[in-house]
Chain A
């Protein structure tokens, strides 16, 4: 008999009144299959009712994050051979409400993303309509934010973040990294606008500096470093605004 591997998948079907429950599938073991390949096999051949998200299968769209044996991972680039002959347990991403099976509710994350104003802000609003020439930006200037521009919004960092697990009000790693990305872009003039959000009660100061976000990030965005640097910047910026007679918000 061909080699087999066990996948235990946590299922949840709210409109059928079912409890959150594990279901074990025993499937052929292919050493070059990703976990996503295994899920697609189950969906097509075994149980069409299983729900999960996926799209690009090349670790760039950010759809297929799940808890794989307790750790948030992209399932398209996590392989069965890392676990075989042991079994694999799949759960929906931690810290998010579950919609169905492995699909979680991202509404809160999407709202947070928007709350940090992740777009180029200019004092002169007409600036972005001038398409006659580009803003100049040297490679060195670009380097100061480029790493944080690589976030694919997979939300693995939220699933790993103990602070977000405890306080869902916490702005969270990806959104703060994105703030850092725009604040440090030489084309942007919106740092003050964003400070109200990141320096607020649920902003950077809620981060306990555990660093799990950086550890699980598949794109090496290093949200933890972005958060710590933002703390320094907002403290300095508050200090100077206080010196100039500004008021503390």
Chain B
């Protein structure tokens, strides 16, 4: 098989991957670096982030405040040393991306403007209207184009890590367009593949969010962390859950139940609509469960009302919200309230890394939503993730670059034999499926139904048990899939099957982690264990793959100066 050699391979071309790539290409120009992405980089899901990017840039704000807001938001599960590093770097990164052309909204005097966001005690969310992720991704992508030494493999899919003697030596990857598999050798691999939103049906996430990085790491023996913490964003647009930004509330929007009452005064009187996402989402669900939601053809919902903001402010600060409502719900928020309900939005967990992006597997790094440092703990604050991809993309890039300066490449013969082994597996599992009977589409749709119903906002012992069992049965069914596409060229059915395998592997850990965590913390809400239990559960969950399913371990939380306290808003 072909071997293409590199020093560093970055898997994923979203915000974290591109930031890592630029960090290396700029400061370590002699390294052979490449970004491999299953879509053209500017299609990555960073593009869909809307409301903003948090960082301390104003004189009335400081790093301790941002750190504490983040830690309290995390329900005290974030590692505080990592959060402190994060808030410090974020202040520099948002200026760096400004200097690379990101069109942040401005004050009249030309300085960058900030807005309110949920759970933040100061205005500190930089924004480019409500297309912040779009602008940030395109600024990164376009800036990356100036580096000749940053190679790209667009529309290539990584089918497996090649690990020799406890060390990463490269990846086996499919050139989607040609339908050919290749060995991409590298001394270090940085996984920047995003979260696993597609395992839920009602989600704000793109179709490409299939947890590939988590699955790649997990299968290679690296642990994945805190997967039970899934964020449900309060405002998913009916019918299919696409995102209506939290900035709608940051700019002054209200939530109303069917009685026309601003129900948040009951749940978070001091923060109202700007409480953290886990709290607002549960409040909406409580209203719906109590019969105070509205009903329509797409189920229950509440109203997000922006009408009092007026057309001018909506067009200036929330133009995308208006576009989305018109294009995808057939209504105009200037004149009507928006029908919303909580939507799966973000994967707090991911590949276990330290604050420099390093995983326990030598040569393997991760950053962005697909990684878990952890700065978000049990609940991420809105606008911390765009800052995270910049900060930890850059950090992981630098750490990997330092590592490869003294690391040795894996011997070519060894890579060949590792790749052959993987190739035989791929042939058998995904390509020679003539005797199979199961359709991948049916397995996906059953998985998404299971996750929505059993591992949703509210969780219970019995439902979680059923969820884990259902996933195990889906894994059985996956062993008997049948693919129909004969052509090798742009075979999205083959890619879809490999993604499905990844989703099943990761979903299993999400459900099992949720079953094991018998407490409620942040985004993980157990109806049968409604309180946080620091005595037993103030720890991260690590999952290791074994032939019998996930093996779970505990990892202590790093606390520097903020002792856990009751989380009230």
Which A residues are CB-close (under 8 A) to B44? Answer: 61
B105-152: which residues lie under 8 A (CB-CB) from chain A?
A: 105-106, 108-112, 131, 134-135, 138, 142-143, 145-146
Smallest distance from the beta carbon of B94 to chain A beta carbons, Å? 8
Complex CA–CA separation, A32 to B296 (angstroms): 14
Contact B206 A57, beta carbon cutoff 8 Å: yes
Contact B112 A16, beta carbon cutoff 8 Å: no
Q: Which of B269-277, B345-353, B482-490 contacts A (4 or more CB under 8 A)?
A: B482-490
Smallest distance from the beta carbon of A36 to chain B beta carbons, Å? 9
Size bracket, chain A contacts: 35 or more
Complex CA–CA separation, A38 to B381 (angstroms): 35
Q: Can you report 17 A-B residue pairs in the complex whose CB atoms are below 8 A from each other?
A: A14-B487, A15-B487, A16-B486, A43-B492, A48-B439, A48-B440, A56-B206, A57-B207, A57-B240, A60-B131, A62-B47, A100-B487, A100-B490, A117-B146, A118-B142, A138-B110, A142-B103
Smallest distance from the beta carbon of A149 to chain B beta carbons, Å? 6
Contact B106 A118, beta carbon cutoff 8 Å: no
Q: Which of B260-268, B321-329, B402-410 contacts A (4 or more CB under 8 A)?
A: B321-329
Q: Which of B35-43, B63-71, B73-81, B421-429 contacts A (4 or more CB under 8 A)?
A: B35-43
Contact B489 A13, beta carbon cutoff 8 Å: yes
Given known A58-B242, A139-B108, A182-B101, contact A119–B489 (CB-CB < 8 A): no
Q: Which of A1-9, A129-137, A156-164, A234-242 contacts B (4 or more CB under 8 A)?
A: A129-137
Complex CA–CA separation, A51 to B43 (angstroms): 17
Contact B145 A113, beta carbon cutoff 8 Å: yes
Contact A118 B99, beta carbon cutoff 8 Å: no
Which B residues are CB-close (under 8 A) to A13? Answer: 487, 489
Given known A48-B440, A58-B324, A62-B42, contact A127–B110 (CB-CB < 8 A): no
A152 is an interface residue with CB less than 8 A from chain B:
yes
B92 is an interface residue with CB less than 8 A from chain A:
yes
Which A residues are CB-close (under 8 A) to B439? Answer: 44-45, 48
B239 is an interface residue with CB less than 8 A from chain A:
yes
Complex CA–CA separation, A45 to B484 (angstroms): 12
Contact of B101 among A53, A56, A187 (CB under 8 A): A187
Complex CA–CA separation, A113 to B135 (angstroms): 16
Contact B491 A51, beta carbon cutoff 8 Å: yes
Given known A48-B493, A57-B240, A187-B101, contact A134–B111 (CB-CB < 8 A): yes
By the criterion of a CB under 8 Å from any partner CB, how many residues of chain B are at the interface? 65
Contact A49 B486, beta carbon cutoff 8 Å: yes
Closest to B113 in A: A139
Contact A119 B142, beta carbon cutoff 8 Å: yes
Contact B142 A138, beta carbon cutoff 8 Å: no
Q: Which 4 A-B pairs have the closest CB atoms?
A: A44-B441, A136-B110, A49-B485, A100-B490
Indicate with 1 or 0, residue by residue over B39-53, a CB within 8 angstroms of chain A CB atoms.
Answer: 110111101100000
B154 is an interface residue with CB less than 8 A from chain A:
yes
B444 is an interface residue with CB less than 8 A from chain A:
yes
Indicate with 1 or 0, residue by residue over A81-119, a CB within 8 angstroms of chain B CB atoms.
Answer: 000000000000000000111010010001001100111
Contact B45 A142, beta carbon cutoff 8 Å: no
Given known A58-B328, A114-B145, A119-B142, contact A134–B101 (CB-CB < 8 A): no
Contact A152 B487, beta carbon cutoff 8 Å: no
Complex CA–CA separation, A49 to B179 (angstroms): 14
Contact of A49 among B39, B207, B323, B484 (CB under 8 A): B484
Which B residues are CB-close (under 8 A) to A141? Answer: 110
Which A residues are CB-close (under 8 A) to B131? Answer: 60, 150
Contact A56 B48, beta carbon cutoff 8 Å: yes
B445 is an interface residue with CB less than 8 A from chain A:
yes
Closest to A78 in B: B327
B432 is an interface residue with CB less than 8 A from chain A:
no
Contact B110 A99, beta carbon cutoff 8 Å: no
Contact B486 A103, beta carbon cutoff 8 Å: no
A128 is an interface residue with CB less than 8 A from chain B:
yes
Given known A119-B143, A134-B98, contact A16–B487 (CB-CB < 8 A): yes
Contact A49 B493, beta carbon cutoff 8 Å: yes
A153 is an interface residue with CB less than 8 A from chain B:
yes
Closest to A153 in B: B42
